[in-house]
Amino acid sequence: MTSGCVFNIQRFSTDDGAGIRTCVFLKGCPLRCAWCHNAEGLSFSPEIACYERNCIGCGACVLACEQNALSIENGRVAIDRTKCISCGKCAQVCPTETLLKIGKNMTVDEVMHTVRRDRIFYGDNGGMTITGGEPLAQAKFALSLAKAAKKEGISVAVETSGHGKTEDLLALAPFCDLFLFDCKASSNDHKKLTGVSDKVIVKNLNALGETGASVILRCPMIEGANINDGFVQKIIKLSMATAAIKKIQLMPYHATGLDKSAILGKTQQRRYVTPSEESLLRLVKEIELKSGKHCFF
Ligand code: SF4
Ligand code: SF4
């Protein structure tokens, strides 16, 4: 049975595709977006999150850790992440859920067990959304999940940065009702802001378009980072050239990623600015007028 690393299964989501969705978050992403709001999705293997403020300093975790990675400092737990092997033994004994293991290996059947429980809420257009992280980075697992859901008549959406092998993306297409495909920055800024060039991504979007897939182009809008004329013109150009793009969704920046980075001991990102409603409305108007496609945020 195919398995993969999952860091969350979020039930009753209304933000990632039509209707009520069960979102399956696959762990691991090859991109490093400057504004990433899902730091748990970056690494491909399990990690230990530490919600330090919950700690009561009981010391149970220190005794459980065979790597000597934990200590109590000023009444609260401290992790030496250079020693931690993410075994999760500390999380098992922590009474306050200060320490949590993020990510676990799951089979398709195990994921589907949760998805099936939500089926009653899906109605006509809800279903499962495979997201991450980057689903194409666990392509075999993502495909097996999509096939399993489709076999049971459950609608499937895939949220992707588009960065992956073209054949993996095309293999998913027959089993997906909707792709939430990211467009993150102008071609000039793409490598600087996400860590990768957009060449493969644009190629993959074009290839997906030829399959007759249904796509919502999702564009993060981060004031002080990616919003510029080059980005807006790219959104318009791609939308005009790709019949598969049915709608364009602007995704205003929110700062929740900062806290998530901190609990995983990752370097704090810069705090960006959420664009004003007025400037988003201006962008919506320009994109709709020039692309002829419905744009919203
Ligand atoms: S995950 Fe394992 S190695 Fe890491 S701190 Fe906890 S018990 Fe120690
Ligand atoms: S077991 Fe939990 S509450 Fe107790 S010291 Fe460790 S992290 Fe803090």
What pLDDT digit, counting tens, does each position of 33-44 carry?
Answer: 999 988 999 999
Burial of 6 (0-12, 13-18, 19+ CB in 10 A): buried
Q: Please say whether the structural domain 47-102 has been given the CATH code 3.30.70.20.
A: yes
Q: Residue 114 above 80 pLDDT?
A: yes
Atom of ligand 1 nearest to the CA of 99: 6
Q: How far is the CA of 48 from the centre of ligand 2 (A)?
A: 13
Residue with CA nearest ligand 1 atom 4: 84
Residue whose token pair is 């997201």: 131
Q: State the fold for domain 3-44+104-296.
A: TIM Barrel (3.20.20)
Q: How far is the CA of 58 from the centre of ligand 1 (A)?
A: 16
CA distance 149 to 143: 10
Question: In terms of residues, how long is the chain?
Answer: 297
What pLDDT digit, counting tens, does each position of 125-153 carry?
Answer: 899 999 999 999 999 999 999 999 999 99
Give the residue, 256 or 203, on which the prediction is more confident: 203
pLDDT at 268: 62
- Strands across the sheet with 178-182, in order? 104-107, 3-13, 21-26, 127-132, 155-160, 178-182, 215-221, 245-252, 294-296
Residue whose token pair is 């009981």: 58
Percentage of the chain beyond pLDDT 90 is 88
Q: Note if the pTM is more than 0.75.
A: yes
Q: Does the beta carbon of 88 lie inside 6 Å of ligand 1?
A: yes
Q: Does the beta carbon of 129 lie inside 6 Å of ligand 1?
A: no
Q: Residue 255 above 90 pLDDT?
A: no
Q: Residue 1 above 80 pLDDT?
A: no
Residue with CA nearest ligand 1 atom 8: 65
Q: Does the beta carbon of 62 lie inside 6 Å of ligand 1?
A: no
Phi and psi, residue 147, nearest 5° = -65, -45
Phi and psi, residue 125, nearest 5° = -130, 0
Amino acid (1-letter code) at residue 81: R
Q: Does the beta carbon of 50 lie inside 6 Å of ligand 1?
A: no
Q: Does the beta carbon of 63 lie inside 6 Å of ligand 2?
A: no
Domain boundaries, the chain: 3-44+104-296, 47-102
